[in-house]
Structure 1
Amino acid sequence: MIRTSFNDNWQVRPKANPFAELSGHSVPYREVTLPHDAMIEQTRVPSEEGAGAYFPGGVYEYRKTFFVPEEHRGRRIAVEFEGVYRDAAVFVNGDYAGQRPYGYSLFRVDADRFLRFGQDNEIRVEARAHQDSRWYTGAGIYRDTWLLVGGPVRIAPDGVRVTTPDIDADRAVAEVATTVVNDSTEIRTADLVTEIRDAAGTVVATGTSKVTVLPGESATARRRLYVREPALWSPDSPALYTCEVTLAGLDSERVVFGVRSLRLDPDHGLRLNGESVKLRGACVHHDNGVLGAATHARAEERRVRILKEAGFNAIRMSHHPMSRAMLDACDRLGMLVVDETFDMWTSAKSPFDYSLSFPEWWERDIEAMVAKDFNHPSVIMYSIGNEIPETGTPSGAAWGRRLAEKVRALDGTRYVTNAINNMLAVMDELARFRRQAAEGAGINTLMADAGDMMNAVAVSDAVTERTAESYGVLDVAGMNYSDSRYALDREKFPDRIILGTETFPTRIDRLWALVRQHSTVIGDFTWTGWDYLGEAGIGRPQYGSTPAHVAPYPYLLAGCGDIDITGHRRPASYYREIVFGLRTRPCLAVQRPERHGETFVGSPWAWSDTIASWTWPGHEGAPVTVEVYADADEIELLLDGRSLGRQPVDRFRVAFETTYEPGELLAVAYRDGAETGRDLLRSATGPASLRAEADRSVITATGGDLAYIGLTLTDSGGTPYTSADRPVRVEVSGAGVLLGFGSADPATEERFDATERRTYDGRALAVIRPTGPGKIRLLATAPDCAPAEIVIDVREQHA
């Protein structure tokens, strides 16, 4: 089918009451371009849930007028939605055309039966979001839309599927299965031409066959082609091929795939193309920070690129199916993917969540995820759920078997996991477990935080017995916060292969050692690789005696990502890179001196309150803690060339207590007496300047491209002025519009759709959407700073 972007010329408004409108109360529409998040534009309310970042729920309606030419009469026309959050209902020319309760599933509505040919037509979409999730979801048509047009005899959408069941150095078998649909009243026979091209566009395999399809039916034509000397896809070398299938004179379809093999066993763990690989994983939510939930292709690609540069080789999409745009980016850049279905099955976690629709819709939503993922070489595993309480019951185990078998029936080439929280699986016995544990020694130490408690419960006999079947239906036992089972299960279940599907970022040194130690443990996924909106403040620094889980308004961010919502790497990210063995240089970080001496009581998701800065005006002579991360024997700390001492490294880190003096702070790492690397922080001096820097000077006008412009306060030498925060105002003119503007401030009442934002630790980020070819000019101003200007060149996209 011919696929055309359907993103332009939409309008949106809060859903109006038709009876109120009859009495004269009208709610106006306004123009928007998709993808669009209606929730991020709302005013946050302190009485709302912190899980959703204190954004209110709502019902929104979108509409679009589009012309359908007379010559389309008799053709099949569908509208495809990659994601509408949530409980979408679609109407064409006022008539109900379809719905989708789940907010993360790609779905299509057949529109041709409702259309007026040779005339304008209207499509209207309603979306609802209210107390239905444990994180910020956004609302509305937040992913791309497409208009699909094809004849009665055509290749079905997602109808070309490529597998590579047999690979060696000389050749790879590419089995291409093409589903052809015949909506006509006659038997139709057509030639099916299949071509495979390499990255350079050279045809490396081709074949022609006939396919006959009976009226009102579909047929699947399979063709085995042979790719000589195949280039294998891997994270280090993400080679891609294109498969184009042409139904002679009727239709054509093109898909991208990779040639790669997967193997799994307890002795070698996960093998990709015959080589064992450990998953250095990041859990990520779907929001794009200052853009809210709006899913633009460039935003997804930028996240994947930054995560990979930070040392990750795998992403677990948490806890919902990944966008097409991010899957494409993972394919191109070489990032492995665990794609996930649901955060709930039949047991609700929020008052109005998907559990209300799960029994009726789960099969269709699994089908949608697998159809979307099938040709992507980056996808190695499907997760059928996250922290599902039912997994500790016989009924829940039966549900798990049902879901796992459904996935396998649709795609037998990948593995199936389930991210099980063992403590949740035995919640009904938790009180009894607490009483029994309290009778033993050291209970106060054992239950010092949530992580200790979850690990203590995880090794109980109750968990072993009650989760045995739920783990048994899987290829890989996904475990959330249960590393205490890694060694235990090597003994009790020697064939059980484990994946740390969700783990504490503060414990990566010990966790990664366990991953390396056990061949049965194939990787670790931290919560989280990238910070996100909602679950407000679970990773924030806290001081005093007892930490609270969710932070009060106006907290906005979870605060537990290695990378903040603007894409800036926090100190924890460099620590992780060192633990992974990917960075030889040490990393300097400094605890904010205003809280020095207070007792830190952050949750296991909370890193120390450090930033990479040695600029602390007003704290001269005050005590300060300097942290250094390194894979070394010892660290020497120097200030302006004066040694502040040497200390041995323990668990890849060392802390120095000193007093703050402006200057140059240098950390030098040593192993066996020889220097292995150094890191330097320099105090900013003199007046602050405002700098604007674009991620790219040239972008494309279409295809979901964006310009990211970092705004940074620095001194004359370029050192960030982390202590000189001030409001920054931006003006955008020319061939673009401001799409989002913000900072990584975890607790603020500022809006992402404003033209003025205050910097946080000296930084802010502006995101611009191009409106056509030409030049985009951004002018940024801040008090006591010279204006900063940058120009972006927008060009047409060429095939």
Structure 2
Amino acid sequence: TTDLYELDINDIPKVKVGSLITSTLEIKPNSTEEAETHSIINNPKLWDLKTPNRYVAQTKVSVDGKVVDTYNTPFGIRTIEFTPRNGFLLNGKRVEIFGTCNHHDLGALGAAINTSALKRQLVMLKEMGCNSLRTSHNPPAPELLELADKMGFLVWDEAFDAWKIGKKKLDYNTIFDEWHEKDLVALVRRDRNNPSVFIWSIGNEVPDQQNVKLTKELADIVRREDPTRPVSNGYNDPDGGRGSGAAVALDVMGVNYFFDQQPKWDIDPRYKNKPTLGSETASTVSSRGEYFFDNKFDKASWQISSYDEAFPDWGCSPDTQFRTNAKYPHLLGEYVWTGFDYLGEPTPYNSDETNLLNFRTDPSKQKELEIKLAELEKNNPPSRSSYFGIIDLAGFPKDRYYSYKSHWRPDVPTAHILPHWNWSERVGKVVPVHVYTSGTEGELFLNGKSLGRKKMEAGKDFRLTWNDVVYAPGELRVVCYKNGKIWAIDIVKTTGKETKLKMSADRTEALADDVDLVFVTVDITDNNGLVVPRSKPLVKFSIEGPGEIVATDNGDATSFVPFQSTERPAYNGKVLVIVKAKKGQKGQFIVKAESAGLQGASIPIRIK
């Protein structure tokens, strides 16, 4: 028997809403049988981004009248429609895709899944306005889809990063012929009951992306298993993919970065009715809290300026991509590369030869990149993790976070000034000031004196800039306006010297199950509690009571301090410690932080 219930956020079945017609099966030993049945749910509560209502099909297997097994299948009810000119419709309403691509690692914790760490990431993305996740470039952990179902994210569910032609030695191509159908079938059957999954992707930037026959074969396998969702593919040669005819087999065209020829394909008879999505965009790079005035890249520190104007040859700034989206309003939206920094691929300080794959169809660009790679190999850069993230590896937002939040959540008052205002070496010199805001105009003040009021033009400007500000210590204040009224205010002050540590935790209680994690942030502050932006003192952590330190991090892509270390330098005023309760313990434990010459800090974590 299978009964249908409403499902709450804690996965507890509540109100019964129906039952499937009972099926009787005779199953012989070591065999499998299938039964098809159905039911109708009247006036269902729909799953959407704001109210992700879920149901559960609770199946009970009985033998001689006795229940011997119970299996719960959560699901949601919603409609999806992809249109060539009116975007994506969820339950009949247009939803622009504000997405991020994300690798599967969890920074200092490595690649193994941890639900509390993953939820922390998704909470931050949700607060920014992100409404969709691309599982780049592999099938997601089931825990990710479960959280997406509960929290209201749409998911681009991706299968492969290689087909018959590999990108590296021992790539998936070595087993493709034997395993591609089995793996695709397993992926679709495992994930097709998740309401968050709305697009299947058969690949990402595969070298054989112009293979017409293979593209159709993979797309047909997916449709055979699930005809209810569209199939896409991420093309870094979108013009070649469409020109060859391979993309004809797709339901949604996935464009990575290159939209120059979009008008041409919008009138091509093969593609004029095919919805198009920015499957990978921007690739802006930056280091949290670093600002350079003469160059975007600093090869002395191997950091990148956080004015958010640095990107590799194939990428662009967030502003440029926003303009592209405004230019082609029929696009479904975008997936930014990436939501979080991740382990590996520290472009532009990455000497990995896979960089050449980004320009496999442009020999001149490949040659230019080969020269850069050779130069990098000689310099041996220390970078070990990416700079692409909107949020750094430790989970601290970069300035770009507020650019996306301003654009993706226009109804939420937001104002964010950059850079910080500690520039004792630049007194009397120009320090450009940029402001991200969900308002439409703003007035900047330095020590109470107006530096002018500026306005953004819709579809063209996505930040306010005062590029001729002469630095003087004190207070920067921006007052942003919308519809002629004050909308949001931000203030940045010159701080004093670092004097103390300040602790805060994402949660103040933890389960004693050995996997529930608490993320504790330590800010390096002055006497007034202001974070000192360029401070990097060594911070030592300890635990009093039944808890333990799992890892530490600071978001510095060049740091080789082991993640398991209990001491770590702060990076631009911040450092993170990840802790947990010892298994089976009760009471509380106290997380302590100390640094030579500074006032220490502590925070209690209750064990529940």
**Alignment TM class, shorter chain as reference:** 0.7 to 0.9
Determine whether 1:355 maps to 2:176: no
Determine whether 1:789 maps to 2:602: yes
2:449 aligned partner, one-letter code: R
Which residue in the other structure is 2:251 paired with? Answer: 475
2:381 aligned partner, one-letter code: Y
2:273 aligned partner, one-letter code: D
Q: 1:644 pairs with 445, 451, 464, which one?
A: 451
Q: Which moved more, 1:331-340 or 1:640-649?
A: 640-649
Higher strand share: 1
Which residue in the other structure is 1:708 paired with? Answer: 519
* Contact kept in structure 2, 1:688 and 1:724, CA below 8 Å: no
SS of the residue corresponding to residue 645 of structure 1 reads strand
Determine whether 1:339 maps to 2:169: no
Which residue in the other structure is 2:144 paired with? Answer: 326
1:307 aligned partner, one-letter code: L
Alignment deviations for residues 181-222 of structure 1 (CA, whole Å, 9 cap, x no partner)? xxxxxxxxxxx2433234371212234513213414322223
Which residue in the other structure is 2:272 paired with? Answer: 494
Q: 2:405 pairs with 550, 573, 577, which one?
A: 577
2:339 aligned partner, one-letter code: G
Q: Which has the larger radius of gyration?
A: 1
Which residue in the other structure is 2:592 paired with? Answer: 779
Give the superposition deviation at 1:584: 4.0
Pairing 1:660-739 to 2, within 5 Å after superposition: 660-670=471-481, 674-702=485-513, 704-739=515-550
| Distance change (3 Å), C-alpha of 1:793 and 1:269 | same
* Contact kept in structure 2, 1:509 and 1:579, CA below 8 Å: no
Determine whether 1:588 maps to 2:417: yes
Q: Following the alignment from structure 2 to structure 1, what is the Cα–Cα distance between the partners of residues 326 and 206?
A: 28
2:37 aligned partner, one-letter code: R
Give the superposition deviation at 1:463: 5.7
Determine whether 1:567 maps to 2:395: yes
2:423 aligned partner, one-letter code: W
Determine whether 1:557 maps to 2:378: no
Which residue in the other structure is 1:195 paired with? Answer: 4
Which residue in the other structure is 1:531 paired with? Answer: 341
SS of the residue corresponding to residue 319 of structure 1 reads coil
Q: Following the alignment from structure 1 to structure 2, what is the Cα–Cα distance between the partners of residues 615 and 648?
A: 27
SS of the residue corresponding to residue 576 of structure 2 reads strand
* Contact kept in structure 1, 2:256 and 2:281, CA below 8 Å: yes
| Distance change (3 Å), C-alpha of 1:736 and 1:412 | farther
Which residue in the other structure is 2:111 paired with? Answer: 293
Structure 1: state its 5+ residue gaps: 1-191, 424-457, 591-612
Q: Following the alignment from structure 1 to structure 2, what is the Cα–Cα distance between the partners of residues 786 and 254?
A: 52
Alignment deviations for residues 583-637 of structure 1 (CA, whole Å, 9 cap, x no partner)? 44332111xxxxxxxxxxxxxxxxxxxxxx2233444444322112235554322
Q: Following the alignment from structure 1 to structure 2, what is the Cα–Cα distance between the partners of residues 742 and 482?
A: 35
Which residue in the other structure is 1:522 paired with? Answer: 332
1:471 aligned partner, one-letter code: A
Give the superposition deviation at 1:668: 2.2
Pairing 1:56-455 to 2, within 5 Å after superposition: 192-199=1-8, 201-207=14-20, 209-215=22-28, 216-248=30-62, 249-392=67-210, 396-422=211-237
Q: Following the alignment from structure 1 to structure 2, what is the Cα–Cα distance between the partners of residues 770 and 373?
A: 32
* Contact kept in structure 1, 2:540 and 2:594, CA below 8 Å: yes
Q: Following the alignment from structure 1 to structure 2, what is the Cα–Cα distance between the partners of residues 293 and 398?
A: 34
Q: Following the alignment from structure 2 to structure 1, what is the Cα–Cα distance between the partners of residues 330 and 447?
A: 49
Give the superposition deviation at 1:240: 1.5
* Contact kept in structure 2, 1:589 and 1:628, CA below 8 Å: yes
Q: 2:423 pairs with 616, 620, 629, which one?
A: 616
| Distance change (3 Å), C-alpha of 1:309 and 1:511 | same
SS of the residue corresponding to residue 344 of structure 1 reads coil
| Distance change (3 Å), C-alpha of 1:539 and 1:576 | farther
- TM-score, L = length of structure 1: 0.64
| Distance change (3 Å), C-alpha of 1:198 and 1:534 | closer
Alignment deviations for residues 438-487 of structure 1 (CA, whole Å, 9 cap, x no partner)? xxxxxxxxxxxxxxxxxxxx4xxx66422x2x211111011111222332
Alignment deviations for residues 645-687 of structure 1 (CA, whole Å, 9 cap, x no partner)? 3445462221332233222111123467654432111222254
Alignment deviations for residues 347-371 of structure 1 (CA, whole Å, 9 cap, x no partner)? 1111222221222111222123223
| Distance change (3 Å), C-alpha of 1:517 and 1:724 | closer
| Distance change (3 Å), C-alpha of 1:701 and 1:516 | farther
Alignment deviations for residues 232-290 of structure 1 (CA, whole Å, 9 cap, x no partner)? 11111111222211112221101221111112232433211111211111011111111
- TM-score, L = length of structure 2: 0.83
Q: Following the alignment from structure 1 to structure 2, what is the Cα–Cα distance between the partners of residues 720 and 785?
A: 13
* Contact kept in structure 2, 1:727 and 1:758, CA below 8 Å: yes
How many correspondences in the alignment?
536
Alignment deviations for residues 409-441 of structure 1 (CA, whole Å, 9 cap, x no partner)? 222222110001117xxxxxxxxxxxxxxxxxx
* Contact kept in structure 2, 1:635 and 1:670, CA below 8 Å: yes
Q: Following the alignment from structure 2 to structure 1, what is the Cα–Cα distance between the partners of residues 331 and 101?
A: 17
